[in-house]
Structure 1
Amino acid sequence: MAETTNESFRQMSPAEFFYRNKEIAGFTSASRAMYQAVREFFENSLDATEVHGILPRVTVQISKEDPNNPDFFTITVEDNGIGIPSTVIPDAFGRVLFSSKYKLRQTRGMYGLGAKMAILYGQQNTGKPFEIFSSTPSSKKVYYYKLMIRMDKNEPLILEEGEWPKSSGWHGTIVKLTLEGEWSKRTKDYISVYLKRTAIIAPYADIIFISPSIEGEGKEPEITLYRRVTTKLPAPPKETKPHPIGVDLEMLKMMIAERPSANMKDFLMRSFQRVGEKKAEEILEKAKIDPRRRASTLTEKELESLYKAIKDTKFIAPSSESLSPIGEDLIKIGLKEVLQAEFVDAVTRKPKSYGGHPFIVEAGIAYGGKLLENLDEIAKDSLKGQQGPYVALLRYANKIPLLFDEKADVIWSIVNSEEFSWKTTYKLEQTDVVAVLVHVASTKVPYKGVGKESIAPVEELRKEIEAAVQEVARRLRVYLTKKRKKQEAQEKLRLFMKYIPEIAQNLAYFVTDGKELREASKSLERELLEMAKRKVRAQLEQPEELTHIVPVALPAAEQEGSIEDPSTSEEEEE
């Protein structure tokens, strides 16, 4: 007898699923939704520019355009990127899981899901459509679409479209989204901090932020501008094949489905990096699979044997070509320009890997000058609960600022004053404030949860973060040691100069008969002053234990060798 149930079942489209679970993409409240929407479209704009060799110019505007609905806010983001082909626009913004981003290389996002979640969120709460203007560099026209997402069918509903000839060489994208939000000091702070921290690691970008005033602070919009201070761009990431160790059984099955007619030897060699002819034969021998066997004919048991054989095989570490680190020069330029610190430095570590996924850790440090007054609101709030020395932590993953869940992040567990010996080893005073920047670049950042705001304590990653922070902290210690030694020497010289005239006058009585006392006193005073200067100069010129101090805000100059942490393992063989 067939089983019966009173439950009814129906298929749910991807659009409906992700809207029902919008918390996955960070849309947890009206305030957070505004922050998340700005972030998603802004990140798309940066990926559409810098990866393609274009110096970004991105304008973010938040405005109230519906007087009948004071909680409706319109977010407009304009960039000068590569644009989107007109035939792709409807699906790119109106179909969930339709994207060009599902490739093995470092990107700010995956699947383009966040932007579509923002569209769904705005559509559900305001009933207003999404608007987009776009033009590619080679196009002679600008294209316009007004659309919504049909959640039941996961497809775009085009309400209006148009095109017209370009009167200039403009290319890029303008998106316009209306959503129900909350414009409070907290919302404004988070969006402002996000853009400010992006400006630190992207000093090659012009970033303009136009925002409404907070209620009670005036009616004029506020404009914040971060000007481009360098034309140097990070090297773009390259697409690479998956590394065998980073593939699970389900992904292996999907890869075979894409090459069903290939024999197993060719499949392994063509589908994976770090697999040559000998390595493919070794894997297949362990799995007891004929190299000439067609990939599509493998049984479930044989697939499991193949997967086990891959996991039992040793491979060269994955290629780092798929990564795009910020670079030491850009980090130093950004820290200097935005924070106006007295001392800044940075280091980019050599590529490492965990579980078949390559990663690069970068660290920057800033101290003194106008650092404290130029820290953002979130960083200042973080300082309030510390005992000193005070650490303002700037966290990034794949060039995205991480603003939430700081204390849950592995980076904080390393750099906080209770764990890191800022005072004893690195010579900071109890009242000193230091800004520490840490960036993790990877094809798979090990986030702690679906919110993707904190990084998990993967051991390989933890070691690299600690080594990077130790390196920039040592350079700060060298700077502070020299600075303090100079201050001590200047104080000694000041004391010498205070007493030299009196000493010279008294000594003059022993070298003259009293008739030329004044001349002798002046002569002795000059000689004693020169002796004091030589003494102080000799003290300042004593060799340091470490001499690597990097000039700040200088573009791409050749630097002398860096200081390696003795506990750091050597680079894996490429």
Structure 2
Amino acid sequence: MSRQEFREISPSEFFYRHREIVGFTNPARAVYTSIREFVENSLDAAESIGVPPDIHVSLIRDEGFEFEVYRLRVEDNGSGIPGEYIPYAFGKILYGSKHTLKQMRGIFGLGGKMAILYGQITTNRPVHIISSIGDRYIYEYRLLIDIEKNNPIIVERNVHRNGSPRWRGTIIEIFLEGDYQRSSIKIIEYFKETAMANPYAELTFIDPYGILYTFMRSTRRLPASSREVKPHPHGVDVETLRKMINSTNCKTLREFLIENFHRVGEATTDKFLKKYNLDPARDPASLTPSEIVDLAYALKNFDEFLPPDPSCLSPLGEELLVEGVKKELNPEFVTAIQRKPSTYSGYPFIVEVALAYGGGIPQTGRITLYRFANKIPLLYDESSDVSWKVVNQIIDWKHYKIDPAKDPIAVIVHICSTRIPYRTLGKEFIADRPEIEAEITRAIRIAARRLSEYLSHKRRVEKAREYFSIYEKYLRKIARFSSMLTGMSEPDVSRLLRRVKKWRGSKDIEGSL
């Protein structure tokens, strides 16, 4: 009988073995995912210091390999990384600054390091990082990841003087196996949609063929920044509660609840403790495992806690959403709706929807859907997403006199939350949580009513212009025939015709209908 061996594997080794769960399923998808992860880190880094992002990306074919290898370089003007943290920020899986309760594009700080790990295991080349926080020094590293120990291996380290004006930002460069030909359409679409959801960002991309794609910003105004908040009682589970109890300095249960939870005040705490017969003076450290389970259940089910404060969120806002849609789609009509903050499982979220018609929107025989989560474009697995379900199965477009088969329409859905309910770590589609589904449905219905009103008005205007066109065509004949019947001289209608022609071509007719 063989003897089983048991051993622990590191996070690096786990994701090395199962890299497909975070989007590195094949060389084509790996190139797309790597670009996406680095660009999103750069956007977060710039927004964190209130600076409109400038991000430059290049993807160059490296001919030194027998298979298809690319050098990916991403440069930003973000916050930069202090020199002592660079090795761990880029060389240790699940180490980073994104393990907080506030809206950020990343969820674990995982994707960028997975791109580095993928590059390492396919080319055996170290990642090259240059970064500065804008002080006197620029730090340069070449790193590998020790997969078994989940630690960085410093191959090379240099410190340079930062000149004047002081440079601030990060440059990251990796070599990776890829397939640009198969991923190029998705990559260009990713940049276009990123520019749509971030109209204050300037993005440039040089592809392996030397083609430069530029996505200029249309505004320098950034959305309001998010701030970190404490956990909400409805969003904690048993393990989270246990860790909070182990790390607290509070000596009473009452103090623990007030100090450690979001929007839990003294009066609400007293009501909660009284309802569940809990001793306010009890030391939380003395709670038994079963009592912690009971407390977690009580926190989730007490309905008098205030809803989460949306200050931890950073929605685009209706104005910026319209700005981005106009910049990239150039529609004839666009409207945007931002719903009031709501919650699911104790996590706050806001739904924003834009509905665009005509102009640069192609007529494809169906509604074009653009999906975003925390300003991230979601390009894969569209039919598995809650937004697709709402647009294609819940909304009755005929009710609004809109024909998706004929009308060129685009629906843009943006969901922002401290925890987006992705169905996979690949961050490509959102689960159909009832609360989120309901908010998307309400927002689209409001937008659809506005579009319906616009289209009805447009049809009336077109009909009126058609009448005036007929009037203009037959007015001289009517005047001539009338003079023949009455025996009077033919009236001069040229002045009236000029007025009709001028009015038919102006917008005055629209305001009168």
Q: Given the two structures, how large is their TM-score scaled by the length of structure 1? A: 0.84
Q: Distance in 1 between matches of 2:83 and 2:507?
A: 69
1:561: which partner in 2? none
Q: Which of 367, 385, 389 does residue 409 from structure 1 map onto?
A: 385
1:35 pairs with 2:35? no
Q: Distance in 2 between matches of 1:114 and 1:65?
A: 23
Equivalent residues in 2 for 1:314-393, closer than 5 Å = 314=303, 315-372=305-362, 383=364, 388=365, 390-393=366-369
Structure 1 position 209, deviation (Å): 0.5
Structure 1 position 453, deviation (Å): 1.4
**C-alpha offsets along residues 414-442 of structure 1, whole Å, 9 cap, x if unaligned?**
112x6533344233474222111000111
Contact 1:78–1:175 (CA under 8 A) maintained in structure 2: yes
Q: Distance in 2 between matches of 1:429 and 1:293?
A: 61
Contact 1:423–1:430 (CA under 8 A) maintained in structure 2: no
Equivalent residues in 2 for 1:76-225, closer than 5 Å = 76-137=73-134, 139-167=135-163, 168-184=165-181, 186-213=182-209, 221-225=210-214
Q: Distance in 1 between matches of 2:192 and 2:91?
A: 30
Q: Distance in 1 between matches of 2:340 and 2:228?
A: 19
Contact 2:400–2:448 (CA under 8 A) maintained in structure 1: no
Q: Distance in 2 between matches of 1:487 and 1:114?
A: 52
Amino acid at match of 1:192: I
1:522 pairs with 2:489? no
SS at match of 1:191: helix
Amino acid at match of 2:311: E
Contact 1:289–1:302 (CA under 8 A) maintained in structure 2: no
Q: Distance in 2 between matches of 1:529 and 1:509?
A: 24
1:429–1:270 Cα change, 3 Å: closer
Structure 1 position 197, deviation (Å): 0.4
Structure 1 position 286, deviation (Å): 4.0
1:553: which partner in 2? none
Q: Distance in 2 between matches of 1:491 and 1:111?
A: 59
1:123–1:538 Cα change, 3 Å: closer
1:177–1:290 Cα change, 3 Å: same
1:249 pairs with 2:234? no
Q: Distance in 2 between matches of 1:256 and 1:433?
A: 55
1:308 pairs with 2:324? no
Amino acid at match of 2:272: I
Q: Distance in 1 between matches of 2:185 and 2:258?
A: 50
Amino acid at match of 2:251: A
Structure 1 position 506, deviation (Å): 2.6
1:450–1:111 Cα change, 3 Å: closer
Structure 1 position 242, deviation (Å): 0.9
SS at match of 1:52: coil
1:50: which partner in 2? 47
Structure 1 position 60, deviation (Å): 1.0
1:531–1:33 Cα change, 3 Å: closer
2:272: which partner in 1? 283
Contact 2:21–2:424 (CA under 8 A) maintained in structure 1: no
Q: Which of 70, 75, 88 does residue 72 from structure 2 map onto?
A: 75
Structure 1 position 46, deviation (Å): 0.2
Structure 1 position 297, deviation (Å): 1.6
SS at match of 2:465: helix
Structure 1 position 369, deviation (Å): 1.6
1:563: which partner in 2? none
Q: Distance in 2 between matches of 1:541 and 1:74?
A: 57
Q: Distance in 2 between matches of 1:10 and 1:177?
A: 31
2:18: which partner in 1? 21
Spell out structure 1 runs of 4+ moving beyond 6 A: 527-539
SS at match of 2:35: helix
Q: Which of 478, 489, 505 does residue 480 from structure 2 map onto?
A: 505
**C-alpha offsets along residues 196-243 of structure 1, whole Å, 9 cap, x if unaligned?**
100011111110001113xxxxxxx11100011111111111111111
1:396 pairs with 2:372? yes
Structure 1 position 13, deviation (Å): 1.4
Deviates more, 1:257-266 or 1:484-493: 257-266
Q: Given the two structures, how large is their TM-score scaled by the length of structure 2? A: 0.94
Q: Distance in 1 between matches of 2:501 and 2:114?
A: 71
Q: Distance in 1 between matches of 2:192 and 2:404?
A: 28
SS at match of 1:251: helix
Contact 1:260–1:295 (CA under 8 A) maintained in structure 2: no
Q: Distance in 2 between matches of 1:429 and 1:160?
A: 57
Equivalent residues in 2 for 1:457-536, closer than 5 Å = 457-509=432-484, 517-518=489-490, 521-522=491-492
Contact 1:284–1:306 (CA under 8 A) maintained in structure 2: no
Q: How large is the Cα RMSD of the aligned pairs? A: 2.4
Q: Distance in 2 between matches of 1:430 and 1:109?
A: 36
Q: Distance in 1 between matches of 2:443 and 2:452?
A: 14
Contact 1:426–1:473 (CA under 8 A) maintained in structure 2: no
Q: Distance in 1 between matches of 2:492 and 2:301?
A: 85
1:538–1:110 Cα change, 3 Å: closer
2:396: which partner in 1? 421
1:569: which partner in 2? none
Q: Distance in 2 between matches of 1:179 and 1:537?
A: 56
SS at match of 1:454: coil
Which consecutive unaligned segments of at least 5 residues does structure 2 have? none
Contact 1:260–1:294 (CA under 8 A) maintained in structure 2: no
Structure 1 position 294, deviation (Å): 2.0
1:193–1:541 Cα change, 3 Å: closer
Which consecutive unaligned segments of at least 5 residues does structure 1 have? 214-220, 373-379, 544-574
SS at match of 1:200: helix
Contact 1:411–1:465 (CA under 8 A) maintained in structure 2: yes
1:119–1:538 Cα change, 3 Å: closer
**C-alpha offsets along residues 170-190 of structure 1, whole Å, 9 cap, x if unaligned?**
110000011111221x31111
Structure 1 position 530, deviation (Å): 6.8
Q: Distance in 2 between matches of 1:540 and 1:94?
A: 62
Contact 1:64–1:70 (CA under 8 A) maintained in structure 2: no
Q: Distance in 2 between matches of 1:528 and 1:238?
A: 63
Q: Distance in 2 between matches of 1:368 and 1:95?
A: 48
Structure 1 position 494, deviation (Å): 1.0
Amino acid at match of 1:119: I
